[in-house]
A and B are shown apart, each in its own frame.
Chain A
């Protein structure tokens, strides 16, 4: 009996494991192809011969990037943006989420504030009016145009607010009796208790700022001020597709042999994410799940 049961489990287990591995490969192989392409000779890449291993291994693409000043300038702009933007995001999310997590008895105006915040989440003016505001403030072409419009992540405020509410009340009351003010309570009790949620928001913010290309397209007109993703968007769409009318021309464009170089740029642009991702991954599942849906 025991043996038969084990055998049965074994067969279904094999199928389950195989499917899981297959799905994993499905996610991994396309990305490995980019890496392999970046190390391949451009002839092999253009001919579509590169699989998951480099063909005609060469570091040429990476050597070329070393001389590409625009690439490194954009890289630095993105780094600065991530640092400034994430700090601002976190400060604003924390200072908003804390008062909002209080009940109306503790913070009398909580109701009005939360209505404003929810309204801002539900409704927006749209792309064009926001562009005009950024323009009027004279932010165009500066790094602030990339950071300030998205400074308050309303979704993150709600996430952290829910997390704060799960912190035991007794801790706060004890600190209050010791004479701590709300700011001290926030810093000494709520923030340490909310580490997983803060790490999650931090990760979201870093990834969001690093990956955002569109505010660069919208608000930055000088190529020299582009953040990295906007720069990559520009080079990978370097041929102006809106001018392509017939299929033959499009085919030519799509097979242009800058593939190795572009792949190398993509690989470098992804490395910073790959470095922070494992460090924060252990937090984001708990942070996300506890905060996302309120019981």
Chain B
């Protein structure tokens, strides 16, 4: 008698969450129909005209779209590469620090930017790279004329990549630090007896020890290649740098919400969503195949 009752408990527990998912995740999926229509708000989804794949064809004909995909992928790729390298190096560095209190202080401070929003940090970044800001002061001290960093299509993408890395490297190092504590101390002792110096131990024990987790984290970051970081770019860009800074998400917002071209924005969103889902599934497959871990 107890068994069915237990099942009922579980179903009732799932209910509230499933209702929320149904309303805010599954119902919006039907809105994807708009991508195949010439959607007119006054007519609604049921009465708008079907245009099949015209919206998608249109996306691939506008010159902007190539630029937007290019921007998204370059910015995302840059962030991915630095987003692995810098946290790993930082974790290795912290691992060499023996004084507990010192280590703790550093960790607390470098994790902090992760918890601040881009709304807050945008004003910091804008000031640092502004015309009168510290970077330009240094440049003028070196007899280099000041640069409009935030309005320059050459500088915008590198700045996005660098500042994102700055915000996240501390936090990103947490997982590597955890992996480092899992390495058998006996290995270090053995290596020390064999005469390996600090650098050699790092190279032959520490690095191979965390290599699996580095590979997993890299694989798991692959799906982000079509999300270059909406919050950051939305808060930092301006019309002068649309050319180099517009990414898929900011484009969807401007076209969809500001210009009210719902069908076009939904179509762009759909391309991103489908590609993202494929990437996540692939990444999961890779992680499960090449390690004893899985993403979900």
Contacts and interface: CB of A to CB of B under 8 A. Distances in A.
Given A20-B106, A126-B28, A116 B13 contact: no
Interface string B128-147: 10111110010000000000
B198 A12 contact: yes
A95 B27 CA distance: 22
12 contacts: A17-B102, A27-B109, A31-B124, A34-B124, A48-B133, A118-B296, A121-B296, A127-B256, A128-B34, A128-B269, A210-B117, A269-B120
Nearest to B113: A27
Interface in A11-42: 12-13, 16-17, 19-21, 23-24, 26-28, 30-31, 33-34, 37
Nearest to A186: B13
Nearest to B234: A214
Majority secondary structure of chain B interface residues (helix, strand, loop or mixed): helix
Interface string B219-233: 000000000001100
Given A210-B117, A255-B130, A294-B295, 19 more contacts: A20-B97, A24-B106, A27-B112, A27-B170, A28-B109, A33-B127, A34-B123, A109-B11, A113-B14, A122-B281, A125-B273, A127-B253, A129-B34, A130-B24, A133-B28, A152-B24, A250-B151, A254-B131, A295-B292
Interface in B215-256: 216, 230-231, 234-235, 238-240, 249, 252-253, 256
A182 B9 contact: yes
B94 interface: yes
Majority secondary structure of chain A interface residues (helix, strand, loop or mixed): helix
A214 B234 CA distance: 10
Q: Pick from B34, B115, B125, B166 the residue with the most CB of A within 10 Å.
A: B115
B266 A129 contact: yes
Interface of B: 5-7, 9-11, 13-14, 16-18, 20-21, 23-32, 34, 90, 93-94, 96-97, 102, 105-106, 108-113, 115-117, 119-120, 122-128, 130-134, 137, 148, 150-151, 166, 170, 174-175, 177-178, 197-198, 213, 216, 230-231, 234-235, 238-240, 249, 252-253, 256-257, 262, 265-266, 269-270, 272-274, 276-277, 280-281, 292-296
Contacts of B106: 20-21, 23-24
A288 B175 contact: yes
B195 to A, nearest CB: 11
Nearest to B287: A293
A251 to B, nearest CB: 6
B257 A241 contact: no
A185 B10 CA distance: 12
B25 A120 contact: yes
Given A128-B265, A247-B240, A289 B113 contact: no
B27 A241 contact: no
A140 B179 CA distance: 45
Q: Pick from B21, B108, B257, B276 the residue with the most CB of A within 10 Å.
A: B21
A266 B124 CA distance: 10
A270 interface: yes
A285 interface: yes
A69 interface: no
A129 B198 contact: no
Nearest to B31: A129
A129 B270 CA distance: 11
B17 A24 contact: no
Given A17-B97, A98-B13, A151-B24, A125 B123 contact: no
A181 interface: yes
A52 to B, nearest CB: 11
A151 B256 CA distance: 24
A262 interface: yes
A149 B105 CA distance: 37
B32 A127 contact: no
A126 B252 contact: yes
Given A131-B257, A133-B24, A24 B109 contact: yes
Interface string A100-126: 101000111100010011101111111
Interface in A247-295: 247, 250-251, 254-255, 259, 262-263, 266, 269-270, 273, 277-278, 281, 285, 288-289, 292-295
Contact of A128 (B110, B170, B197, B262): B262
B96 A263 contact: no
B266 A126 contact: yes
A182 B240 contact: no
B280 A128 contact: no
B115 A263 contact: no
Contact of B131 (A12, A21, A106, A251): A251
A133 B27 contact: yes
B117 A107 contact: no
A270 B239 contact: no
Contact of B17 (A34, A96, A259): A96
Q: Pick from A102, A150, A182 the residue with the most CB of B within 10 Å.
A: A182
Contacts of A27: 109-110, 112-113, 166, 170
